[in-house]
Amino acid sequence: MSEPRSAPTVGQVVLGKRLQDLRERAGLKREEAAKVLRVAPATIRRMETAEVALKIPYVQLLLQAYGVPADEADSFVRLAEDANKPGWWQRFHDVLPSWFSMYVSLEGAASVIRAYEPQFVPGLLQTEEYARAILRGGAVGQVGHDDIERHVALRMERQSLLTRPDAPKFWVIMDETVLRRPVGGGPAVMRAQIGRLLEAAELPNVTLQIAEFATGHHPGTYGPFVLFRFAMPELPDMVYSEYLTGAVYLDARPEVASHLEVMDRMAAQAATAQRTKEILTDFREEL
């Protein structure tokens, strides 16, 4: 049986969808594909939905059964071998929960990331001291110093995403609460964090907006969420929504469309990117 793992890589998600497409084009049901491998139909479903790693001998047999030409099959197998390699973030498996491992994989593959954050600066824009303070303040249970430092290191490594050659478009709306909530026990941490936001706002792929108190209620008040868009046609737009002990990933079109509409309405209501720079500059001077 194919090996399970904590969370799939984006490559496995994409190839799983391609396997499903090849099976359907071949006119085979999952039960018929399962007979090729002499496994339960549930195994085929788990391969197609990336719930298990892609076992190469199984992939080769399925591609043959689906009538895929030899050269295309060889290319698919090479992609599967690459997709099965652990992502860089899996070095942090000791502190990285499985439900967030998928987020890091999606984050690294997205071409556009749009986020709404009502409470804190998004992780991709945090300074080390701000991140450390947030993690210490939010620690629940037996979380030691070493674990917090590992989380900080992971967060800092994720930030290289924004300056790589193929960096995604990162568009963030933050509530004014993010600025007003003291973090770190003194003004120094927040002053440095505001400076980091101003630096990020100058990047060509980063757009920051502040939802000011004065503009009143807006449709995203209920909680934070992130919307991912991918260049790969196999991956639909996806929404990530986090709660205290886990997260949900939504890819149903009606749900994604609702979140996108809310994001657009908030963007229209929030301060412009230029006005946001002025707000950040003024706020830093007040600290």
Residue 2 confidence (pLDDT):
43
Q: What is the pLDDT of residue 141?
A: 55
pLDDT at 215: 87
Structural contact between residues 238 and 249, judged by C-beta atoms closer than 8 angstroms: yes
As given in the structure block, the two tokens for residue 118 are 């009502």
Closest CA to 116 of 237, 233, 263: 263
Report the pLDDT value the prediction gives residue 139, as an integer from 0 to 100.
Answer: 61
DSSP 236: P
C-alpha dihedral, 260 to 274 to 242 to 261, nearest 10°: -10
The count of C-alpha atoms lying within 13 angstroms of the C-alpha of 17, restricted to the half-sphere facing its C-beta, is 11
Kindly state the DSSP code that residue 168 receives in the 8-state scheme.
Answer: P
Nearest alpha-carbon partner for 66 in 48, 40, 85, 46? 48
- Residue type present at position 112: V
pLDDT for residue 186:
84
- pTM of the shown model: 0.85
d(CA 150, CA 134): 14
**Residue 123: closest CA among 92, 152, 98:** 152
The burial class, CB within 10 Å (0-12 / 13-18 / 19+), for 98 is exposed
| Other Cβ atoms closer than 10 A to 196 | 17
Q: Are 182 and 130 in contact (CB under 8 A)?
A: no
pLDDT for res 4? 43
Which tokens is 155 given?
A: 């967060």
d(Cα 131, Cα 127) in Å, to the nearest integer?
A: 6
pLDDT (tens, 9 = 90+) of the chain, 287 residues, equals 444 455 778 888 889 999 999 999 999 999 999 999 999 999 999 999 988 889 999 999 999 999 999 999 999 999 999 888 888 888 898 888 888 888 999 999 999 999 999 999 999 999 999 999 999 887 655 578 899 999 999 999 999 999 999 999 999 999 999 999 999 888 999 999 999 999 999 999 999 999 999 888 877 777 899 999 999 888 889 999 988 888 999 989 999 999 999 999 999 999 999 999 999 999 999 98
Closest of 181, 170, 156 to residue 116, by C-alpha: 170
